[in-house]
Amino acid sequence: MMEGMPKKQDDALADFLCFSVYSLNHAFNRVYRPLLDGLDLTYPQYLVMQLLWAQDGRSVKEIGKELRLESNTLTPLLKRLQATGLIDRRRGKSDERVVRIFLTGSGEALHARAADVQSCLAAAIGLDTGELSRLSQVLDDLRDRLIGEAEKLTTDA
């Protein structure tokens, strides 16, 4: 309003942006859910399967680094995928602490059935390739900056 005091107003936008991301994330889940229901996968499970389809035999740690998740989230999730028969969990031979994740036959087979999830999503989003990649880039940069800030905050406290 006044020239001298726009700071309060501006700061509110930070909250708005966070809510935009929060509610957009929920919206994505709502689109993914009906698509993934047919595959008996949740969205985080789908993310893990995507990684494994790209490359097998990753450790829990490596998966966590890619998805920004910790073992306290991944271990139960991976056990559920194992229970449904999509993956195997094997202790590393050289290092017994490491658990490596391998696709089973049905885990690999699911890849084909997951083929149209991406195209449905792309259609629902309705942005062209350029906009998509630009937007992803902006969000990823912001994410990495925030993770840095979060570390500062928690280290200080």
Residues near DNA, by CB under 7 A:
22, 26, 29-30, 33, 42-45, 59-61, 64, 68-80, 89, 94-100
Nearer residue to its own copies within complex by CB, 109 or 147: 147
Across the beta sheet with 99-103, the strand order is: 58-59, 99-103, 87-91
Nearer residue to DNA within complex by CB, 65 or 134: 65
Which residues, in sequence order, are CB contacts of 80 under 8 Å at separation 6+?
45
Separation between Cα atoms, residue 120 and residue 111, nearest integer Å: 15
CB of 105 to its own copies, least distance (A): 24
Chain contacts with its own copies (rule: CB under 8 A): 6-7, 10-28, 30-35, 43, 47, 50, 67-68, 117-122, 124-127, 129, 132-133, 135-136, 138-140, 142-147, 149-150, 153-154, 157
CB of 12 to its own copies, least distance (A): 6
Which option in its own copies, DNA, none does residue 138 bind, with CB closer than 5 to 8 A by kind? its own copies
Given a contact cutoff of 8 angstroms between Cβ atoms, the answer to whether 82 and 107 are in contact is no
CB of 82 to DNA, least distance (A): 9
Where on the phi/psi map is residue 83: left (φ > 0), alpha (ψ -120 to 50), or beta? alpha
**Where would I find the H helices in 38-156?**
43-54, 60-67, 71-83, 105-113, 115-125, 129-156
CB of 95 to its own copies, least distance (A): 28
Nearer residue to DNA within complex by CB, 134 or 146: 146
